[in-house]
Amino acid sequence: MDITKELKNQHLMWRAGFGPSAVGARESLAYSPHTLFKSLDKSSVRSPRAIEVVDNSANGLMLGLKQVSNQTSLEAAEEKKRLLKQSQQEIQQLNLAWIREMISGEDQFREKIALFWHGHFASRNLNVYYQQLLLDVIRQNALGRFSDLLYGVSKSAAMLHFLNNVQNRKDHPNENFAREVMELFTMGRGHYSEQDVKEAARAFTGWSANPGGEFQFHRFQHDAGVKSFLGRTGNFDGDDILAILLEEKQTARFISTKIYRFFVNDEPDPERVEWLATRFFQSQYDIRRLMEDLFTSEWFYESRNIGTRVKSPVEWLVGIRRMLPMILENENSQILIQRLLGQLLFYPPNVAGWPGGLNWIDSSTLMFRLQIPKILYQGNEWSVKAKADDDQEMGMRESPDDQAHRAKLKNGQSFRASIDWESYFRRYDGIADEELVSAVLQTLVPGAQGLQESTVRKYMDRLNRESLLKTATIQIMSTPEFQMC
């Protein structure tokens, strides 16, 4: 593969963001990859605007659920159903608000790494306000210091509730939070003992949150005794445990490995990971510097790293909508798309997050991905239905409203879009007709990766330039190669 400057830039835009947009993408191709990265980085320096779909009045939701759960009357049961439905709807609105930010926001770099941290610090919680607060912690600290991010997430109401630390008390320690902090958030499995888990759990006793989502330390529920943890001994509390974990280079190595898998290649290169980890550790966990080391390294642009990652469902969906500006008739259809493809934001399958890689693709999800671009283009009816997945629905099976929504989908009333083709066409101004297919191909499938122009040309409409661009774009988006980045 000939690794041109343009190909490197396309590769960078898909990995450090969600792919090129219809507007302004051609100008970016004139930059050097290093300059383009600096531009992406600069746009993400300022603090992001918080995504807010509810105010703190929502923090009464969990209290309300607890109150009605202790009652047996029919009214209480109905009230519990109402609160559950309200929460589900509000979490969906938070999902869609973040998707809009990924599509249209200027901070592509920040949102992309925030999506990575969303999977790394996976949490499910019925309280949308807690979820909203956790998302803000992640987005605010996504490119800061990992230490700040770790402390912020560990003290969030969403995570403390999800990992049961609100039940972690002196004389009755709950080990779940302590175990996951080590196994999934910092060092990884195999680098601590079961005794370390027990001692860390003692240190985290008393960590909780109030109904408003604020961290609280209950001193009388805390085990103030001496603990031995990872070879250190002292009167440790939760802050001390996190500090000790950050002193272990294995934490930098574990994070760097996951970063490499997500942004470079599913198969980590041990030597390069170790180089990243060393610099990450020496920088005191500066995430921005880690990402700069990665995206400005020559090896990032090697052919074996281009077009070799399966796009996650969110990357895929956002990438299509960035390239083809559109207004969806029903934005909520994006929720069902996420469910069908296996990545519903705020509903990770478990605390380990989404496995990623080839796990994103099976026979049914691939066929669905290949159909969607044509459905958007042709305005066809969509009768696909999601499987019941109680693991993702957190106990909320399909409601009558969901069934009604599905009926609308079956009648073709929902998943339709008005595509702004004129904005898309402008991206190819100045390109000769005979070069259009090549230009579209290189934009949508960096490096082409085996997809031949001749294959695309077989299914194009050559009536005029606009028809050619439309059909070439939709045809390419409907190929297996477009699922890769």
352: CB partners within 8 A, 6+ apart: 122, 184
Strands 215-217 and 326-328: unpaired
Q: How far is CA 459 from CA 42, 377, 443, 447, in A?
A: 41, 14, 18, 21
User: Do 409 and 383 touch, CB atoms closer than 8 A?
Assistant: yes
Taking 70 as the threshold, does the pLDDT of residue 412 lie above it? no
Confidence of residue 211 (pLDDT cuts 50, 70, 90): confident
Is the pLDDT assigned to residue 59 strictly greater than 70?
no
Q: Are strands 215-217 and 227-229 parallel, antiparallel or unpaired?
A: unpaired
Q: Say what percent of the chain tops pLDDT 70.
A: 87
Average pLDDT of the chain?
A: 89
- The amino acid that residue 389 corresponds to is D
144-201 tens-digit pLDDT? 999 999 999 999 999 999 999 999 999 999 999 999 999 999 999 999 999 999 999 9
Closest to 394 in 3D by CA, of 76, 8, 47, 127: 127
Question: Rounded to whole angstroms, how far apart are CA atoms 284 and 247?
Answer: 9
Distance of CA 67 to the CA centre of its chain: 33
Rounded CA-CA distance 131/157 in Å is 8
Alpha helix positions (H), 379-464: 390-393, 400-410, 421-426, 436-444, 453-457
3-state secondary structure of 236: coil
The Cα–Cα gap between 198 and 227 comes to: 9
- Between 386 and 215, name the one with better pLDDT: 215
What dihedral do alpha carbons 116, 294, 14, 99 form, nearest 10°? 30
240 has a pLDDT exceeding 70:
yes
How much is the pLDDT for 72?
Answer: 62
What span, in angstroms and rounded, lies between the C-alpha atoms of 25 and 21?
Answer: 6
Instruction: Please state, in angstroms and rounded to a whole number, the distance separating the CA atoms of residues 309 and 235.
Output: 46
> Is residue 167 a contact partner of residue 147, using CB atoms and an 8 Å limit?
no
Distance of alpha carbon 441 from the chain centroid: 26
pLDDT band of 461, cuts 50, 70, 90? confident
Cα→Cα distances 52→62, 151, 153, 172, 346, Å = 18, 22, 18, 37, 15
Give pLDDT, residue 405. Answer: 45
- Using the predicted structure, report yes or no on whether residue 294 has a pLDDT greater than 50: yes
Q: Residue 434 corresponds to which tokens in the numbers above? A: 């005979």
Within 8 A by CB and 6+ apart from 203, the residues are 178, 223, 227, 229, 236, 237, 238, 240, 241
Q: What does the block give as tokens for 161?
A: 């509730």
pLDDT at 383: 57
Q: Which residue has the higher pLDDT, 308 or 75?
A: 308
pLDDT at 400 over 50: no
Taking 80 as the threshold, does the pLDDT of residue 384 lie above it?
no
39 vs 408, more confident: 39
pLDDT at 460: 85
Query: In which band, very low, low, confident or very high, does the pLDDT at 124 lie, cut at 50, 70 and 90?
Result: very high
Residue 8 pLDDT > 50 = yes
For the ranges 70-84, 230-244, 253-267, 377-391, the lowest mean pLDDT is seen at: 377-391
Please give the Cα distance from 379 to 277 (Å, whole number).
48
Task: Specify the 3-state DSSP secondary structure of 416.
Answer: coil
| Reported confidence tier of residue 414, pLDDT bands at 50, 70, 90 | low
**CA distances to 61, 91, 98, 114, 469 from 345, in Å:** 20, 9, 9, 12, 32
Q: Check: CB of residue 378 under 8 Å from CB of residue 417.
A: no
Q: Which position has the higher pLDDT, 23 or 150?
A: 150
pLDDT band at 457 (very low <50, low <70, confident <90, very high): confident
d(CA 237, CA 222): 8
Tokens 């609308």, located at residue: 408
Q: Which of the four pLDDT bands, split at 50, 70 and 90, describes residue 68?
A: low
